[in-house]
């Protein structure tokens, strides 16, 4: 049995989320500009989407641009936005051919008009695809998402649409950007940093965390297999004992 088959014969994570880190350092190591790192990061995105689709992963969420990333030099922000538009234009056909739905989470109103429009166009064209959902976190911050949720629920309580007694996990889930997604099963971060950096704080409550030193542009199919194999070795107890699980 090859690696891919042995992974698929065990329980797959339904939802993988990735903090794609290390583009800048990868470029620096090569004496190149950061933009070169991001361009190669985009190639890694393509590879990872292909691998997840082949394996049968249902949801892949990528941290492409955080609320904090707006503070980067203007030129770098422009480069990332341009790369996003060109990748969307280039990959729409691949998404369609592979039955992949594109979704986005974050404060999308802050995106430049061109990016916002292109993104909406691709999301609209792929909205009925069902093999896998690829969600891009753009202008995303988890605390902001939770704050918005609290505000929206408070307004509904104030207007007697819901009662405080109704507020439970499901009401909160329904108000998050990720309302259509299941909880994250496996969170991967590349580049050796072991932080969550304001990504999906509510949604990773029971996720398995996998940190690798590999820089994002170097992240290959085999690295993803390794992360999934590690996930499959772990015992997810959700607060129960091993005996209860057996
Ligand atoms: C982290 O590397 C990466 C980002 C901030 C952006 C991620 C963007 C891409 C992978 C490119 C295109 C994305 C799509 C969806 C087509 P870093 O710049 O923080 O690296 P460093 O920590 O080494 O400086």
Per-residue pLDDT tens for 129-138?
A: 999 999 999 9
Domain containing residue 33: 10-141+184-233
Residues 6+ apart with CB under 8 A from 224: 48, 51, 52, 188
Q: Which helix H or strand E contains 189, and what residues bound it? A: strand 186-189
CB of 24 shorter than 6 A to ligand 1: yes
- Cα of 34 to ligand 1 centre, how many Å? 9
* 158 within a domain of the structure (yes/no): no
pLDDT category of residue 128 using cuts at 50, 70 and 90: very high
Residue 46 alpha carbon, nearest atom of ligand 1:
16
Residue having the nearest C-alpha atom to atom 13 of ligand 1: 42
CB 203: neighbour CB atoms within 10 A? 23
Q: Give the chain's end-to-end CA distance (angstroms, integer).
A: 27
Is the pLDDT at 246 greater than 80? The verdict is no
Per-residue pLDDT tens for 153-172?
A: 999 999 999 999 999 999 99
Q: Which 3 state secondary structure label does DSSP give 133?
A: strand
Active site residue 21: yes
Query: Where does 1-33 have alpha helices with state H?
Result: 3-8, 23-29
Q: What is the pLDDT, as a whole number, of residue 241? A: 83
Q: What is the pLDDT, as a whole number, of residue 238? A: 81
Is the pLDDT at 1 greater than 80? The verdict is no
> Does pTM top 0.85 for this prediction?
yes
C-alpha to C-alpha distance for 185 and 16, rounded to whole angstroms: 6
pLDDT category of residue 121 using cuts at 50, 70 and 90: very high
Per-residue pLDDT tens for 53-75?
A: 999 999 999 999 999 999 999 99
* 172 within a domain of the structure (yes/no): no
CATH of the domain at 214: 3.40.1180.10
* 88 within a domain of the structure (yes/no): yes
* 165 within a domain of the structure (yes/no): no
- Cα of 94 to ligand 1 centre, how many Å? 21
Residue 26 alpha carbon, nearest atom of ligand 1:
23
DSSP state, 191? T
* 157 within a domain of the structure (yes/no): no
CB of 38 shorter than 6 A to ligand 1: yes
C-alpha to C-alpha distance for 216 and 42, rounded to whole angstroms: 9
- Cα of 22 to ligand 1 centre, how many Å? 7
CB of 217 shorter than 6 A to ligand 1: no
Active site residue 69: yes
CB 182: neighbour CB atoms within 10 A? 12
* 125 within a domain of the structure (yes/no): yes
CB 220: neighbour CB atoms within 10 A? 13
- Cα of 39 to ligand 1 centre, how many Å? 9
Residue with tokens 């104030």: 158
For the chain, how many structural domains are there in total? Answer: 1
Residue 38 alpha carbon, nearest atom of ligand 1:
11
CB 205: neighbour CB atoms within 10 A? 11
- The pair of structure tokens assigned to 63 is 């941290």
C-alpha to C-alpha distance for 172 and 202, rounded to whole angstroms: 10
* 148 within a domain of the structure (yes/no): no
Residue having the nearest C-alpha atom to atom 12 of ligand 1: 42
C-alpha to C-alpha distance for 78 and 135, rounded to whole angstroms: 21
Residue with tokens 């974050």: 106
* 227 within a domain of the structure (yes/no): yes
């Amino acid at each position: 049995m090859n690696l891919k088959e042995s992974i698929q014969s065990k329980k797959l994570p339904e939802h993988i989320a990735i903090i794609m880190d290390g583009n800048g350092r990868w470029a620096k190591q090569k004496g190149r500009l950061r933009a070169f790192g991001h361009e190669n990061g985009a190639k890694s995105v393509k590879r990872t989407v292909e691998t997840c689709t082949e394996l049968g992963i249902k949801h892949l969420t990528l941290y492409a641009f955080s609320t904090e990333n707006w503070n980067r030099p203007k030129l770098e922000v422009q480069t990332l936005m341009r790369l996003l538009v060109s990748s969307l234009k280039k990959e729409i056909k691949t998404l369609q051919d592979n039955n992949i739905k594109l979704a986005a989470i974050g404060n999308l109103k802050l995106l430049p008009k061109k990016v916002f429009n292109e993104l909406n166009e691709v999301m609209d064209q792929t909205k009925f695809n069902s093999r896998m959902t690829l969600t891009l976190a753009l202008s995303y911050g988890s605390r902001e998402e939770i704050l918005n949720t609290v505000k929206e629920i408070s307004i509904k309580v104030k207007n007697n649409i819901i009662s405080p007694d109704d507020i439970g996990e499901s009401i909160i889930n329904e108000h998050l950007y990720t309302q259509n997604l299941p909880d994250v099963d496996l969170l991967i971060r590349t580049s050796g940093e072991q932080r969550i950096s304001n990504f999906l704080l509510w949604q990773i409550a029971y996720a398995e965390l996998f940190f690798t030193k590999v820089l994002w542009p170097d992240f290959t199919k085999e690295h993803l297999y390794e992360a999934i194999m590690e996930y499959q070795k772990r015992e997810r107890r959700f607060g129960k004992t091993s005996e209860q699980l057996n």
